[in-house]
Amino acid sequence: MKLSHSLLLLTAALSTCALSLTAFAFSSMSTRVKTPPNIIMIVVDDLGWSDIGYNQTTDLFETPNIDALARQSLQFDNAYAGAANCAPSRAVLMSGQYGPRHGVYTVSPSARGNAKARKLIPIKNQRGLKPDVITLAEALKTAGYATGHFGKWHLGADPDSQGFDINVAGSHQGMTFHYFSPYELPNIQDGPKGEYLTHRLTSEVIDWVRTQKDTPFFAYLPYYTVHTPFQAAADKVKKYHQKGITDEKQATYAAMVELMDSNVGRILTALEAENIAANTLVIFTSDNGGYRMSNFPSPLRAGKGSYYDGGLRVPLLVRWPDHIPSGVNHTPVINADFYPTLLSVANAQRPNQVLDGIDLSSVLLDQQFIESRDLFWHFPVYLQARNAATDQSQDPLFRTRPGSAMRSGSWKLIHYFEDDEYELYDLAKDMAETHNLAAKLPEKLNELKAKLQAWRLKTGADMPTQLNPEYDADINQQLIDELKIHTKFE
């Protein structure tokens, strides 16, 4: 099923029209769910919002298993990652906390890009979650859950020390350099030569689930795919060349998406075979937006690393047969919400730490609306451009310069710190974020500015204020102008 641009605009608009009811308290969950479910959380790395069959704007991607899962699931079409790149988004998910609370803002270092183009000295990045952060896995263990990690951790040296009973392939490492064995990854033995990592991780999950099916389990499957390097079976790549994709990397990317989908199908089939599908809650999502590619247009602006929606909005499917009705929900949600929601469903103890997400169990189980709330992001660091011609960023040198962003109803505000600039967009009418309304709507701008500043004060957000002595305004502008000429930057 493909969504037209008009339908996409309509669903974005509907998100602002929902009535609100308060979510059920944790204590009431036991009256609705007598047996806590198994939980499988699949987090694909760098999968764009439009890069799956049910959301795509072309006929190129083939994801029949995910499309079938979507028909059986509650689809959140306004779901957001906690950050626009890998480590900080995963830190939000695992801690239930916004970035300023744990200090994981980017993939280190924070001073990236040309030093002469960086006006501010960025905030130093925290590499991984500190040991005193109680992770989602640790919290679920209070309800008797077995916990397994399979794939990319990227939040410290070892997930074994942060709540997981078993760890396969998780470490500080943020990517694999070899999708075909030998993998040369920590915490996983190489398989037969040529074995595909995505297939292997899926087999590891299935084998573990079979041993744990008589007790509640939390299987966290953060695939390394579809992150670079783009590597896939030659026959699959050839298939996408034959579909009209001439670019080798983009054909390989499409093949990686299909191979990922096939392995999601293997997991769903295994749940049926083990007779545990009915009591297993399956979550499918991505850690952030994907890279923009010419063969795969998106109605969203920008991609991974950007705080426009192309870098933040992600697919999100939640399935629990006979408990969560299928359909589409337009409520804006963020991956910090997983933590309190899963604790509620599992009847687990809430930890003695701030949780910035909200419990969505009443939305999932009772089809209730939730009270309107704002979503926030903070990025006090620099991330250099990946491809100036396609990034669709504010300028061609950086995907993102230091700033904060928020969504309030259908409104999106971005604040850039270097020159105290603001961008304001109405996503209900402009989901591509092309019309900056900051100068035209001063009342709305001031309203959201006040909310954003109050949030930064509440969370103790680090603000970069120290000027960079290496910065050269003339060189910065010269580099911008040159790239605009050579890359047809718009």
Reference 137, options 173, 185, 203, 93; nearest CA is 93
Query: For residue 444, which of 417, 422, 421, 420 has the smallest C-alpha distance?
Result: 422
Count each helix (H run) and each strand (E run) in the chain, helices first: 13, 16
Taking the C-alpha atoms of residue 271 and residue 277, their distance in angstroms, rounded to an integer, is 5
Please state, in angstroms and rounded to a whole number, the distance separating the CA atoms of residues 127 and 110.
Answer: 10
136 burial via Cβ count (<10 Å: 0-12, 13-18, 19+):
buried
Cα(250)–Cα(398) distance, integer angstroms: 22
Angle of helix 234-242 versus helix 248-273 axis, rounded to 10: 120
Return the half-sphere exposure (C-beta side, CA atoms, 13 A cut-off) of residue 424. 18
**Which residues, including other chains, have CB under 8 Å from residue 425's CB and lie 6 or more apart?**
411, 412, 433, 435, 436, 437
Q: Taking CA 340 as the corner, what is the angle to CA 338 and CA 343, rounded to the nearest 5 degrees? A: 100
Distances (CA, A) of 51 to 58, 177, 395: 9, 22, 25
**Which residues are known catalytic residues?**
86, 154
Q: Rounded to an integer, what distance in angstroms lies between the CA atom of residue 315 and that of residue 52?
A: 8
Helix, strand, coil tally for the chain in percent (to 5): 35, 15, 50
Q: Answer whether 8's CB lies under 8 Å from 297's CB.
A: no
